[in-house]
Chains A and B, each alone.
Chain A
Amino acid sequence: MTQVEPISPARRVALAREPGRPGVSGAVEALFTDFFEYRGDRLCADDPAVLAGVALFHGRPVTVLGTRKGAGLEQNLACHFGMPTPEGYRKALRAMDQAEKFGRPILTFVDTPGAYPGLEAEARGQGAAIAACLARMSTLSVPLIAVILGEGGSGGALALAMGNRVLMAENAVYSVLSPEGFASILWKDSSRAEEACGVMKLTAGDLRQLEVIDRVLSEPSGGAQSDPAAFWRTLNAALTEELRAAEKLADPARHRQRRFRAMGNSWLHTGKENA
């Protein structure tokens, strides 16, 4: 049934962005018990666009991390519609450090249009905060499994997604930039976003082929939002399996380094073959 569903990339972008799309808060409720939320980056502020904490997953402690869009306008605004500020990424760093200290695996859930592009965010080092997350994730000795639930937008998404394994919901999208931004940069015309969706290779199927993600999570027809409970069951089973496998890794840090070291390498030419 999941075999041939002709859903266009543009349609998937729309599905991924739908307000009722299951996010990290839903995942926390459906998959974990005893969740304790961390607040604040211990430097200056707390960014609600990043949810971080510790919880039990089938009775074993894990660190939970995710980007959050918030439900309702008030929360949406507080979360910048899911666009984290540097404080959010620094809270994530805090959570990663504690996971390392206490030997807990990390599960991340990503649904963000990207990092927040604002004046204060720049002044406080948005780029540096994301870079620090990438650097930290590359050295963590505990397993990290990332799940792209909705939108995986740019560096703001990757900042929580350098996993040993990266899972992706069937109708989620993951891309270098929003299709609107892509069209605006390459064609100077953001109204060609739909066309951009077609060429960007941002669907789970495309990304599986490019070996950017490892596993596609099937969704009910109409998207995960049409039957969240069914989707959480799928995710629960997948995470249980993935976590068991990841915990057998001899050196999760090295595994992650190698995984990302290889990104795109099948497209490299050394110059000798076409000399």
Chain B
Amino acid sequence: MNDWFAARRQRMLRLKVRREGERPFSPRTSAAAPVFEQCPRCRQAVTRARWEKNGLVCPECGFHRPVGAYRRLSLVLDEGSFQELAPDLTAGDPLAFPGYGEKLAGLRRRTGLREAAVAARGRIGGLPAVVAVLDSRFLMGSMGVAVGEKIARAAETAEKARLPLIVFCASGGARMQEGILSLMQMGKTAAAVTRFREKGGLYIACLTHPTTGGVTASFAMLGDITLAEPEALIGFAGPRVIEQTIGQTLPEGFQRAEYLQEHGFVDAVVPRGEMRDTLARLLRLHQKGGARRDAS
């Protein structure tokens, strides 16, 4: 019976990943869909099958393309362990911002996502955890009320179930269209992960390209352990804003994952292909990494 559920969950996740195939790749419906996709960095033509097999990392030069939330989950979770939390959670339009509703509807249609974050329970290397993932295809993974709420709920679920919490960040920061309430999600998420940590929970932040603005200045920088994908842009102010402020161009590699590690803000730069094993190792090292039973 359990196997049946696990198989069903895995099918669901696979379907959701496949929807991602529409972007960045061309629609499947087109007979002329190219078999090759050029790497944005090394310009090598790589077959779609190889991109997929390699987790959207260029097999020629190691360039990490952005991955969607469901694909990310399929890359790190054990087969059949994916159970989504609050899948239908969305938020309204607090500023009544012109065009926002239509924009959300269009993105939901194209991406198969409800919002810019997906939270799930699952297992990594056999060990259970709560994993939340931001998706940069959905308004740059920006943190509106629903995204803040999902992160907070993920922390609370982890706290109650005494499981470790892992968050994959990919976000331009606050969701402008939700105005000040978006800013307030920084307070909401920072408080939620802090509470979880104070109760003894292990929180691992995985920073992927890009992690900036209000997400960096809240839960992204509050991990017990902080991992980052190679070359991910990580910062508070965006490079363009800084260039305007200081009136000069920024040095090569500035605000990249490796730069942050050099400056003491990242524990390890982990290529995508090694992420699952690295997380499994960390979970093993913190076998009682959930919130403490005795803490009230």
Name the contact of A125 in the complex, choosing from B90, B184, B221, B246 (C-beta under 8 A): B221
Cα distance, A207 to B94, chains bound together (Å): 11
Name the contact of B179 in the complex, choosing from A131, A162, A176, A268 (C-beta under 8 A): A176
Interface of B is mostly: helix
Interface-facing stretch out of B4-12, B51-59, B144-152:
B144-152
Which 6 pairs show the lowest CB-CB distances between chains A and B? A271-B88, A117-B237, A127-B216, A264-B145, A138-B191, A134-B190
In the assembled complex, which residues on chain B have CB atoms less than 8 Å from the CB atom of A158? 183-184, 186-187
Interface-facing stretch out of B37-45, B157-165, B192-200:
B192-200
User: Interface size bucket, B side?
Assistant: 35 or more
Contact string, A145-170, partner B, CB cutoff 8 A, digits 1/0?
Answer: 00000000011001100100000000
User: Interface size bucket, A side?
Assistant: 35 or more
Interface-facing stretch out of B22-30, B72-80, B170-178:
B170-178
Name the contact of A257 in the complex, choosing from B91, B97, B191, B234 (C-beta under 8 A): B191
Asked if A186 CB lies within 8 Å of chain B CBs, one says yes
Asked if A3 CB lies within 8 Å of chain B CBs, one says no
Inter-subunit contact B190/A135 (CB<8 Å) = yes
Asked if A35 CB lies within 8 Å of chain B CBs, one says no
Inter-subunit contact B254/A119 (CB<8 Å) = yes
Name the contact of B213 in the complex, choosing from A124, A138, A155, A275 (C-beta under 8 A): A155
Contact string, B64-102, partner A, CB cutoff 8 A, digits 1/0?
Answer: 000000000000000000000011111111111110000
Cα distance, A131 to B222, chains bound together (Å): 7
Asked if B217 CB lies within 8 Å of chain A CBs, one says yes
Inter-subunit contact A272/B88 (CB<8 Å) = yes
Asked if B282 CB lies within 8 Å of chain A CBs, one says no
Residue among A116, A123, A264 having the largest count of chain B Cβ atoms under 10 Å: A264
> Given the known A-B contacts A125-B265, A175-B179, are A261 and B91 also in contact in the complex, defined by CB atoms under 8 Å?
no
Name the contact of A122 in the complex, choosing from B89, B96, B220, B235 (C-beta under 8 A): B235
> Given the known A-B contacts A186-B176, A261-B188, are A154 and B97 also in contact in the complex, defined by CB atoms under 8 Å?
no
Inter-subunit contact A263/B188 (CB<8 Å) = yes
Asked if A69 CB lies within 8 Å of chain B CBs, one says no
Inter-subunit contact B91/A131 (CB<8 Å) = no
Inter-subunit contact B218/A134 (CB<8 Å) = yes
Inter-subunit contact B218/A263 (CB<8 Å) = no
User: Knowing that A125-B264, A127-B221 are A-B contacts, what are 4 other residue pairs whose CB atoms are under 8 Å apart, sorted by A's residue number?
Assistant: A117-B237, A135-B222, A199-B98, A271-B88
Inter-subunit contact A267/B242 (CB<8 Å) = no
Asked if B185 CB lies within 8 Å of chain A CBs, one says yes
Cα distance, A181 to B88, chains bound together (Å): 31
Closest Cβ of chain B to A43, distance in Å, is: 11
In the assembled complex, which residues on chain A have CB atoms less than 8 Å from the CB atom of B190? 131, 134-135, 138
Asked if A2 CB lies within 8 Å of chain B CBs, one says no
> Given the known A-B contacts A135-B194, A260-B191, are A269 and B91 also in contact in the complex, defined by CB atoms under 8 Å?
yes
22 cross-chain CB contacts under 8 A: A119-B250, A122-B254, A134-B194, A134-B218, A138-B187, A139-B195, A154-B183, A158-B183, A174-B180, A175-B179, A176-B174, A176-B176, A176-B178, A176-B183, A176-B214, A177-B174, A199-B97, A256-B191, A260-B191, A261-B191, A271-B90, A275-B88
